[in-house]
Structure 1
Amino acid sequence: MLDQVRAAVAEITGRAADDVRRLGGGDTAAAFAVRLDNGETVFAKTAPATMSGAIEAEAASLAWLAEPGAVAVPALRGHTESWLVTEHVPEAAPSPGAAERLGRELAALHAAGAPAFGAAPPGGPADAWIGLAPMRNEPSGQQWPSFYARHRVEPYLRRAVDSGTLSAEASAVISRVCAQIDDLAGPAEPPARLHGDLWSGNVHWGTQRAWLIDPAAHGGHRETDLAMLHLFGCPHLDRVLAAYQEVSSLADGWRQRIGLHQLFPLLVHTVLFGGGYASQAVAAARSALDV
């Protein structure tokens, strides 16, 4: 495997690799820190062969998130069909200052906008991925509630029911959310430029700021990114949110809609991993209906 890493990095960067170190973490791809013959260290990753288009989608996502200059994302050094190489960002402990900066930068990223709900990054494939799960990205002429129900929640709801992971009773609760989503979604908002998979593991803390990694970028609702930060916890989240609102106020009732926006990633986890995620998805649906 290390020889494959060296060959891929040399092809992309034009430099030989002096040292290759396997990195831990993540469940989607094999990742490596690679020191080049000029002393620079880069980050390299590969996706499973079953995830066709995943590298292309991530490269397009990184470029799209970087374009407005709002957030920190690792600079793209290049990619092939199978390998992605970016700058390597040393890890540091989360700090309140970096969290506040992340909040302000995330607000600016969302404000950069997208052509439509469901729009893929320019040059990105329609068939993209969120973690190990396929995610279809194509511009929708619908408003966010209809887009979210039809193109995010319902496909995974069907898969969870068909696989036997979700009971008919549980499915009925989530279907009620889709049926009532126009009344649950809050005020209409324009499409935001989303990271798309912004759980805490995809926030990489550097010495001065937080960096966003492993995006599943698309046009969506800005509350979705914030709900993802809540899903598995994020260091100094209260500071992130306060700083975000200093730049861009969230609509009234946004906290009550967190469960609604978590429904898609929880259904993805239900399909992929089963276990307690099905009950979490139902709890999120019930919280949305309680608004």
Structure 2
Amino acid sequence: MTTELQESWYAEVAAVFGSEVAETKPVQGGDISEVLHVRLEDGQELAVKRGPYVGTEARMLQAMSVAGAPVPTVLHQGGRLLCLDWLEETGASPAGWKALGKGLRILHNVESGEYGWIEDYSLGSVPMLNGAQEDWPSFWAENRLMPMTEGIPRDLAARVYTLARTLGDRLPEKPQAALLHGDMWSGNALFSGKEAWLIDPACYHGHAEVDLAMLELFGTPDAAFWDGYGSEEPERSERTAVYQLWPALTHLRLFGESYRGMVERLLDSVGA
């Protein structure tokens, strides 16, 4: 028996797509929104997301689509409901990794005049403050690292604060303000045959290396990814740990002490 809440969004889907919901299956993930694979009675398949930030996600996906990046199509968004076309996942291959590199490069080629985004966002209970900043070290310090000092152990907070105060010497002042995916780990790439799609974005404009550092935090991209992405900036490796620290801190806040060691290693590597 469906609940009254289910009946409400079932009815909305039926009204929009002209077919009743026949079957729903939960999809792995959903830290920010509930994600379902939905099959309608007419055979159409949808990815349905329900949560407080789906409107923001829809606007991000649309911006990425306009840029030409490979993303699922937004079919409907209203209130807490987002409907996307269903993409069948087949697993990563070298061709898929190369496609991901090409897609991410397309995204990063879109440039803005300032760092940030038109609205704030959130990864679970961790806010992403996207207010514009004129220079990049200020954005990374004020919008990313400093807000983390209130939600982590005091000894780590002191080290993060110290690092944040030195970013003017560690990061370029005004790199290209590229359009970022913002949460670019391999779980947010959907591989289907020779294609790869960018999903679950947390967009803002910033240094392209942020996405690359995130992608390397929990694994090593296939060499074909770099064939697709193209050249990297000089001395990128010297900045990687600074950029990896924010997602590491996010995981510490969301999932607890098991990520403390990762945070400490990154702080050690930058001498903070």
Residue aligned with 1:204, SS: strand
- Matching of residue 243 in structure 1 with residue 228 in structure 2: yes
Distance apart, 1:208 and its partner CA: 2.4
* Equivalence map 1:41-56=2 (5 Å): 41-47=45-51, 52=52, 54-56=53-55
Q: Which residue of 2 aligns with 1:150?
A: 142
Q: Which residue of 1 aligns with 2:31?
A: 27
- Matching of residue 137 in structure 1 with residue 136 in structure 2: no
* Equivalence map 1:52-131=2 (5 Å): 52=52, 54-69=53-68, 71-120=69-118, 126-131=119-124
Provide Cα deviations, 1:4-60, integer angstroms capped at 9, x if missing partner. Answer: 55224224434322222222333332211112233211110112xxxx4x1111111
Q: Which residue of 2 aligns with 1:163?
A: none
1:46, 1:84 within 8 Å by CA — same for their partners in 2? yes
TM-score by length of 1: 0.85
| Count of aligned pairs | 268
Range moving further from structure 2, 183-192 or 208-217: 183-192
Distance apart, 1:267 and its partner CA: 1.5
Structure 2: stretches of 5+ with no match in the other structure: none
Counterpart of 1:281 (choices 260, 263, 267) is: 263
1:5, 1:44 within 8 Å by CA — same for their partners in 2? no
TM-score by length of 2: 0.90
Q: Which residue of 2 aligns with 1:182?
A: 168
Distance apart, 1:281 and its partner CA: 1.8
CA distance in 1, matches of 2:85, 2:220: 24
Residue aligned with 1:216, SS: coil
Provide Cα deviations, 1:209-259, integer angstroms capped at 9, x if missing partner. Answer: 1111111111111001111111122552x32134312xxx32211122111
2:33, 2:54 within 8 Å by CA — same for their partners in 1? no
Q: Which residue of 2 aligns with 1:38?
A: 42
Identity %, equivalent residues: 31
Q: 1:146 to 1:153 in 2, by over 3 A?
A: same
* Equivalence map 1:244-259=2 (5 Å): 244-245=229-230, 249-259=231-241
CA distance in 1, matches of 2:95, 2:29: 25
CA distance in 2, matches of 1:198, 1:114: 19
Range moving further from structure 2, 7-16 or 38-47: 7-16
Distance apart, 1:180 and its partner CA: 1.4
Structure 1: stretches of 5+ with no match in the other structure: 121-125, 161-165
Letter in 2 for 1:278: R
Letter in 2 for 1:57: T
CA distance in 2, matches of 1:256, 1:26: 33
Q: Which residue of 1 aligns with 2:248?
A: 266
1:46, 1:82 within 8 Å by CA — same for their partners in 2? yes
1:186, 1:251 within 8 Å by CA — same for their partners in 2? no
Distance apart, 1:132 and its partner CA: 4.2
